Chains A and B, each alone.
Chain A
Amino acid sequence: MNFELTEEQQLIGQSAREFGKEYLDPIAVELDHTGEYPAKIVAKLAGHDFLGLLIPAEVGGAGAGFASYVQVIENLSRSSAAVASIVNNHTIAALAIEQFGSPEQQKHYLPKLAKGETLGALALFESGPTPGVGPDALTAVKHAEGWVLNGKKAYVRNAGVAGVYIVFATADPAVGAKALTAFVVDSKTTGLKIGTPEETMGLKGCPVAEVAFENVVLPETALLGAVNQGQAIAAKLLAIFYVAEAAQTVGIGQAAVEHAAAYAKQRVQFGKPVAVLQAIQTLLAEVATDCHLARLGLQNAALLIEEGKPFEVEAAMIRSFLVRLGSKMLLDTCQVEGGFGYSEFMPLPRLFRDIAGTTLLDAPGDYPDKIIAASIA
């Protein structure tokens, strides 16, 4: 059992860290204030091959593994988790095509996704808790030209800036989720309407909006995988996404504990730096511990993904762990900094707002507990 990163994983993480320090640290605060999609930064990420990290080298990507990918996400998140969100949501869409797409779809989209010419997005969740069920559910009805889609997708990340959406619609509303079918939808398709941007608590700069489908006609070739295969595809992608998001959570936590520790060493109260007070030590220790264990958990899951081994349970576990303890890392570090941890002139409040967005439970089928329990009972 080797817990050490390979040299490559280490160097890739180092590059991402340097990128974060050089390009993200200077803009992170402003990005949070304006919430404006950072197109220039995304272009720079593309130039460093971060957007094509998981895409095979033959189609223009870097062809690296998932264990390297999470090094990138964690390190980018130390500077700006919002930017890491853009990368995560783009990458999961690219993975969908890489793993389930037809040769034509792969040939058409992967090179563009790898170079960042096209940004990807995943349109899975709806206003109701279960995709495919409810009055606004996205439906796909057979059509002379292929399929016609109607309905709405809610809270789609990278909405409006993506060039391609991986969309899940139910092919039979009576059946609902079990008839979910996936499609690759070009952003320029007629009938696709991007809603007004949602106001999220954090991760500002990663666009979030409703995507409505009004009689969107798609050819048969837009099918991703087989009819009714959508639920299985979504489950796989979500499991991978849990691990990718976990890397964000850990990156944010790492940045927070470093800042809080530095603060505690220099903040003098009662004649001593507060870092010597046991109360502060406990807060810092718990955060550092949870961050460390989470990191080990997510790296283990990432390695399983990279090696093509079963990983859904480990992915669900890291998700479940961070749902319970992710935000706590910022609740505790803000507590260490007291009033300074509450002032938006200091860094922790932004991290507090960001980290909560990395452990969201978006659908009942999303409860990781189900997956874990099913594996043991």
Chain B
Amino acid sequence: MPKCLTCYKWTLDEQDIKIKPEDLSLDSSRAKGKISDFDRNAIEEAALLVEKLGGAVEALTYGTATVKQSLKDALSRGPEKAYWVADASAEQADATVTASVLAAAIRKIGPYDLILLGEGSSDLFNQQTAPRLAALLGLPCLSFVNKLEVEGDVVKATRKLDDSVETVTVKTPVVISVLSEINKPRIPSLKQVLGAAKKPNQELTVAELGLAPEELASKAVRKSVKGFVMQRKNIIFKETAAAANVAKLKESLASIGLD
């Protein structure tokens, strides 16, 4: 009967973000929030484990003030309780900061047998939070997991790596980051959505977690985010002889430094 925790990030839905043509800056004014894609898989995996083995799953999230909008969404997907840390530092937080905050929270609300996260977030996809979190908590970390089995205190996981597939076993407690192929998150039923309102949530402040300002400041500061728009040159080489076209292409490529 494992006690599980899923950590999730509340991100912007990228399909709502528009690129301003004038300066390629991003207009996120109409973007809605969503639970980061791979984190959804993590929540689902925890919910499935608990349905199979008993136990309980709770959720934890760290974000800016908007993170409160995520609670009912998360609670409609299986967790019994949601913990949340809302702080302005989350705006620029890198994986180090995120891991510090999550670790501090877990030290307060844990311990847990399994801590699940998505392999990377929808927006930054640094893939560092889980390993850093594990290191801070002094726990083993299983990453790139696409299959999970738990029996008692033994966790058996399949890890999909670049050039191989690895099966590992480890004893709980453990931090696990999952790939999207591990499961297909079910659509919350209406009763689950309505039931989310009745589930408890608890705020944790950075002050009560004893986090100093230096721990919340990212070492690398993100100065701007710009969109990438493919600019086609639209040059057509129309010589009758193929060799002439090749020569022209070579010339054109050389003129932009590709020779």
Contact = CB atoms under 8 A, between A and B. Distances in A.
Interface of A: 7-8, 11-12, 14-15, 18-19, 22, 47-50, 53, 62-64, 68, 72
Contact of A49 (B69, B72, B73, B191): B191
A64 B76 CA distance: 15
Interface stretch (B41-49, B129-137, B182-190, B218-226): B182-190
Contact of A22 (B76, B187, B194): B187
Given A11-B72, A11-B73, A11-B76, A48 B196 contact: no
A62 B187 contact: no
A255 to B, nearest CB: 16
19 contacts: A7-B73, A8-B194, A11-B73, A11-B76, A11-B196, A12-B190, A12-B194, A15-B189, A15-B193, A22-B187, A48-B189, A49-B190, A49-B191, A50-B190, A53-B190, A62-B190, A62-B191, A64-B194, A68-B190
Interface string B170-197: 0000000000000000011111011011
A110 to B, nearest CB: 16
B72 A48 contact: no
Interface in B45-81: 69, 72-73, 76
Interface centre among B187, B189, B190 (most CB of A within 10 A): B190
B168 to A, nearest CB: 32
Interface of B: 69, 72-73, 76, 187-191, 193-194, 196-197
Interface centre among B69, B191, B193 (most CB of A within 10 A): B193
A7 B74 CA distance: 12
A15 B190 contact: yes
Nearest to A72: B190
B30 to A, nearest CB: 13
Given A7-B69, A7-B72, A8-B72, A15 B194 contact: no
A50 B187 CA distance: 12
Contacts of B193: 8, 11-12, 15
Given A15-B188, A15-B189, 19 more contacts: A7-B69, A7-B72, A8-B72, A8-B194, A8-B196, A11-B72, A11-B73, A11-B76, A12-B194, A14-B73, A15-B193, A18-B187, A19-B187, A47-B189, A48-B187, A49-B191, A53-B190, A62-B190, A62-B191
A18 B77 CA distance: 14
A53 B193 CA distance: 11
A359 to B, nearest CB: 27
B122 to A, nearest CB: 16
Top 6 A-B residue pairs of the complex, sorted by shortest distance between their CB atoms = A49-B190, A62-B190, A18-B187, A48-B189, A11-B193, A7-B72
A62 B197 CA distance: 13
Interface centre among A15, A19, A63 (most CB of B within 10 A): A15
Contacts of B194: 8, 12, 62-64
Contact of B187 (A7, A15, A63, A64): A15
A72 B73 CA distance: 16
Contacts of B188: 11, 15
A371 B187 CA distance: 40
Nearest to B76: A11
A49 B76 contact: no
Nearest to A13: B193
Nearest to A23: B187
Contacts of A53: 190
A21 to B, nearest CB: 9
A192 B38 CA distance: 53
B71 to A, nearest CB: 8
B189 A64 contact: no
Contacts of B73: 7, 11, 14
Given A8-B197, A11-B196, A64 B72 contact: no
B190 A48 contact: yes
Contacts of A19: 187
Contacts of B189: 15, 47-49
Contacts of B196: 8, 11
Contacts of A7: 69, 72-73
A118 to B, nearest CB: 19
A12 B73 CA distance: 10
Contacts of A64: 190, 194
A33 B196 CA distance: 39
A49 B188 CA distance: 10
Nearest to B72: A7
B102 to A, nearest CB: 24
A53 B191 CA distance: 9
B22 to A, nearest CB: 16
A214 B202 CA distance: 63
Contacts of B191: 49, 62
Interface centre among B187, B188, B197 (most CB of A within 10 A): B187
Contacts of A49: 189-191
Contacts of B69: 7
B84 to A, nearest CB: 14
Contacts of A72: 190
B177 to A, nearest CB: 24
A243 B174 CA distance: 52
A47 B72 CA distance: 20
